[in-house]
Chains A and B, each alone.
Chain A
Amino acid sequence: MSEQRPTITPYPDGPLLVRGDIDLRTADGEPIERRRRTVALCRCGLSTIKPFCDGTHKAAGFRTDD
C-alpha cells in the first residue's frame, strides 16, 4: 500500500488543516514540534500560538472568500 500523501485543507473563515507527514520549520529552519496528528495553521495572523491556530480568527471576524 502506498503512503498517503499529506494534505493541506483551507477551512472557510478559519485555519489551514494539515494532515499527513510533513515537517514544520521556523523562518530559521529550526524544526517546530508537532504535538498532534492533525494540526491547524493560523491563517488570520492573530494567533497567540503561531504557527498554530488558537481560534482568535472567530472573535476578530476573519473572513475568507470561499
Chain B
Amino acid sequence: MSLDVRPAALAAPFRPRGPLSEAVLARLTGQPGQPGDAGLAALADRALTETVDVVRDDDVQLALFALFASSYGSFDQFEADLEWDGELIGARRQLEADFEQALRAAVQVPALPTSTTDAVARALFALTAQEGGPSLSRYLAKRATREQVLELLVQRSVYTLREADPHSWAIPRLHGRAKAALVEIQADEYGGGRPDRVHAAIFAASMRGAGLDDSYGSYVDVVPALTLASHNMMSMFGLNRRLIGAIVGHLAAFEMTSSIPNRLYGDGFRRLGFGEDVTDYFDEHVEADAVHEQIAAHDLAGALAEDRPDLLPDIMFGAAACVTIDGWVAQQMLDAWHDGGTSLRVPV
C-alpha cells in the first residue's frame, strides 16, 4: 500500500486531505502554529464555503474525524490537554452545524407515530424493513471475491474497532427505563464482563484472522469520506446532548439492520474458506443483535419517546439517518465492485 510510506516529520496517525484537516492534525498533535497561519475558524469557513457536498468532502470529514477522535482518545498522538481547546472545539462546531444541516436535508423521515412504546417500535421496524433489503450482505454471501470481503473488513474497521462507543456517550444523558435499556445493550456489546468477548475485540480478532492490521486507524488513509461521515454522524449524535434522540434512534436502526445481514456476511466468509476465527464476529452478531434490536426498539427508543415525546422527531430522524447514510456507504462499495474496482482510495 503506497500510503504506508509517511514522511518522518508527520506525527499524525494519518495523512491530511486538505488545508483544514492539515491544520487540525497539526494542532491536535501539538505542533506550534506558524506566524501568518490562517486560524482554524477561517480554514473551516473556507472549506465549508467551497465544498459542493459536505457529507462526501474528504477534507471536512477527515477534520471532523480527527476532532472526534480526540474525545474518544483513539490516538496517543493527539494530546489529551487539547481535547477542550477552544479553537478546536469552535472549528468542530462550525463543521458539525453544516454537517447536521446537510444530513437533515438529505434524510427522509417517515410520518411520526404516536408517542407510545408500541407505536414507535412498530414504526422503527417498518422503517428498517423497507431499506431495499440487505443487498450488500446478499452480494457478500453469494458472489464477493476474497479481496472484496477483506475490503468490507477494512471499511468497517473505522467504526467496529470502536464498536458501541459512540452510543455510550448517551448513557448519562438518559434516565430511568431508557437508561437501563441502553446499559443492558451496551453491557453485552462490551462482553458482559469478559474482555475477550468485547465486540470490538472480537472484530479485531477477525481482522487478524484475515491477515489485516487490527490497530485502530491503520486504514483511515484508505477509506473514502463517506465512511468517515458515517462514523462522524454517530459521534456527533452521541457527543451533543441536544441530539440525544438522534443517537437513540440511530442505535435502534443499527441493531435492527444487523442480525440478518451478519448471518449473510458470515456465510460469505465461510464460502471463501475463512475459519471460525474470522466468522466468530458475524456469528456472534446474529444472536446478539436479535436480542439488542428488541430492547432498542421497545425498551430504549419506544420508552424514551413515551417519556419524552419532544424527542420523537429526532428519534425517527436518527433512525432514518442511519439507514440512509449506511445505505450510501453500502451502495458505494457495490457500485465500485460492479465496475471491477474498489471503494477504497488506494487498494489494500
Interface residues of A (CB under 8 A from B): 11-15, 17, 35-40, 48-49, 52-56, 58-59
Q: Are A37 and B298 in contact (CB under 8 A)?
A: no
Q: Are B260 and A54 in contact (CB under 8 A)?
A: yes
Contact of B121 among A12, A15, A55, A59 (CB under 8 A): A12
Majority SS of interface residues in chain A? Answer: loop
Interface residue B129 (Cβ < 8 Å from any Cβ of A): yes
Q: Are B263 and A48 in contact (CB under 8 A)?
A: yes
User: Inside 8 A of A39's CB, which chain B residues have their CB?
Assistant: 287, 291
Contact of A38 among B259, B286, B291 (CB under 8 A): B291
Contact of A55 among B187, B188, B286, B295 (CB under 8 A): B286
Given A38-B291, A39-B291, A49-B286, A56 and B188 touching (CB < 8 A)?
no
Q: Are A56 and B294 in contact (CB under 8 A)?
A: no
Interface residue B308 (Cβ < 8 Å from any Cβ of A): no
Contact of B260 among A13, A15, A58 (CB under 8 A): A58
CB distance from A40 to the nearest CB of B (A): 4
Instruction: Give the total of B residues in contact with A, Cβ under 8 Å.
Output: 23
Among B121, B187, B291, B293, max chain A CB count under 10 A is at: B291
Q: Are A40 and B290 in contact (CB under 8 A)?
A: yes
Interface residues of B (CB under 8 A from A): 118, 121-122, 125, 129, 184, 187-188, 192, 197, 259-260, 263, 286-291, 293-295, 298
CB distance from B102 to the nearest CB of A (A): 31
Q: Which residue of B lies closest to A14 (CB)?
A: B294
Given A36-B192, A38-B188, A54 and B287 touching (CB < 8 A)?
yes
Q: Are B291 and A17 in contact (CB under 8 A)?
A: yes
Q: Are B184 and A38 in contact (CB under 8 A)?
A: yes
Offer 30 A-B interface pairs, CB within 8 angstroms, sorted by A: A11-B298, A12-B298, A14-B294, A15-B290, A17-B291, A35-B197, A36-B188, A36-B288, A37-B184, A37-B188, A37-B192, A38-B184, A40-B287, A40-B291, A40-B294, A49-B286, A49-B287, A53-B287, A53-B291, A54-B259, A54-B260, A54-B286, A54-B287, A54-B290, A55-B259, A55-B286, A55-B290, A58-B129, A58-B260, A59-B260
